[in-house]
A and B are shown apart, each in its own frame.
Chain A
């Protein structure tokens, strides 16, 4: 999952010609200090991740809903937390189906 999101961030940064001094890791911030994307970039990234996950799992997934927004700690803090959140949703979805 981390890989998928790193790829997605990379694609979005390539689009804006933004060069990062270091590579993208789980710790790369998506919001707050040192963030690599602005608010529009963040939403673009989330939609892109939704698309990629749906392509992989054949199940639509919604990352920007009340559940995400009402978490005490935002799942959109870093590349790593986003990956965890996506993983969590996929598991929950699998459980529901089984």
Chain B
């Protein structure tokens, strides 16, 4: 879908409210006016087709209008939120940004980083040749050089044709993540209302307040956040009855967390999403609210499983990495790195975890998420992260780092949890070592940071 077509559609929603951030209320009409105003501003500054622009700042009415204005100029937008502050300069260098703009204030500030000739990336040239705008996102790798993922925005926008009911939606995921952009375009593309929180931290309390106040219907979030929402019990103190749908993705959902959610929110549709920076967010159907089995698909999206790993071929996948070799094989298949289980019909998958997170215990492969899911069902466990430690006897040994609700000596805790796992996990899947920690490490996008301990 062309940016123009999207803008026309936004215009058709007229004076419906599009975005609310604290006391700022923006209608679709105003949003479109701002897109045109910023497009003029960019053109006057000299932005041309194929220019790469760093767009700094989290979700805001200005940054959203700026993003569409950049695309309207057939330029390439690279959103960078505050959370990626440390990586900012590195990302700007990798992408060869010619411009940087700030989406925090209106009118936005636009700075030219350099003019003159540059060695333009081959993929950017290809995009320019197509006369299409682009999008650059960075993979949330924690240690290695982040990979710059380039999307053709026209292909990226293809899936956001009007199709869903207009919903009041919380912009929970980040502006520079695929999940956040998916939320944005689903909401606006269907004439919904996007609610933006201030700041990058999303606490259960803050989210619950927003749901009650704005009568939020759709909460796109992560299993880790939902686990905190359950543990903190803040859902008891607020009226969350407006919720119709909770979608969760980005890491495997523990069955125990899902079960608790269905008890707490019996009327809410709980839906898993599945997406990556490279592939975007395809259509996903959960078997049911209580199920972690999903069907992944939609137009132009094919899947297969090779040696337990999910492979995908999609017409709307990224064009490639700017700073890494193409991960697509000769037939266009992309190895997701996600290990899956397939149901007997072959139609549904269950995500077990990252191939790189698999633990090898004496030759048996163990998915940490599966073990965590069982342990979360035990008493006195607030949160848990399962990782591997090198072991001279088994090669690797499973270690569970647990956050406790009340103090408990480690000898007793180990015995209690070992017996708890009996019959629920095979012996090789059961953690051999339990460590009590104050809190678990998280990546910048709020996922469990399993590899931290291996560094």
Residue numbers of A with Cβ under 8 A of B are 11, 15-16, 38-44, 47-48, 51-52, 55, 64-66, 68-69
- A47 contacts which chain B residues (CB < 8 A)? 397, 414, 432-433
Q: Does B392 belong to the interface (CB within 8 Å)?
A: yes
Which chain B residues lie closer than 8 Å to A66 at the CB level? 392
Q: Is the interface of A mostly helix, strand, loop or mixed?
A: helix
Q: Which residues of B contact A15 (CB under 8 A)?
A: 415, 418-419, 422
Which chain A residue shows the least CB distance to B410?
A: A51
A-B CB proximity, top 3 nearest = A69-B392, A51-B411, A47-B433
Which A-chain residue is minimally distant from B411 (CB atoms)? A51
* Bound-complex Cα distance A15 to B427 (A): 11
Which size bracket describes the interface of B in this complex? Answer: 20 to 34
B362 and A39 contacting across the interface, CB-CB below 8 Å: yes
The answer to whether A40 touches B428 (Cβ under 8 A) is yes
The number of A-B residue pairs with CB atoms under 8 Å apart is 46
Q: Is B43 located at the chain interface by the 8 A CB criterion?
A: no
Closest approach, in angstroms, between the C-beta of A15 and any C-beta of chain B?
A: 6
Q: Does B1 contact A (CB under 8 A)?
A: no
The interface residues of chain B lying within 8 Å CB-to-CB of A44 are 418, 432
Contact check, A52 vs B419: say whether CB atoms are below 8 A apart. no
Q: Which of B354-411 contact A (CB under 8 A)?
A: 361-362, 391-394, 397, 409-411
Find out whether the CB atom of B393 lies under 8 angstroms from the CB atom of A43: yes
Contact (Cβ within 8 A) B393 A39 = yes
**A47-B432, A47-B433, A69-B392 as given contacts; A40 in contact with B414, CB under 8 Å:** no
The answer to whether B414 touches A43 (Cβ under 8 A) is no
Complex partner residue of B394 from A16, A43, A68, CB under 8 angstroms? A43
Can you show 21 pairs from A to B with CB atoms below 8 A apart? A15-B415, A15-B419, A16-B427, A38-B427, A39-B394, A40-B428, A40-B430, A40-B432, A43-B391, A43-B393, A43-B394, A44-B418, A47-B414, A47-B432, A47-B433, A48-B414, A51-B414, A64-B393, A66-B392, A68-B392, A69-B392
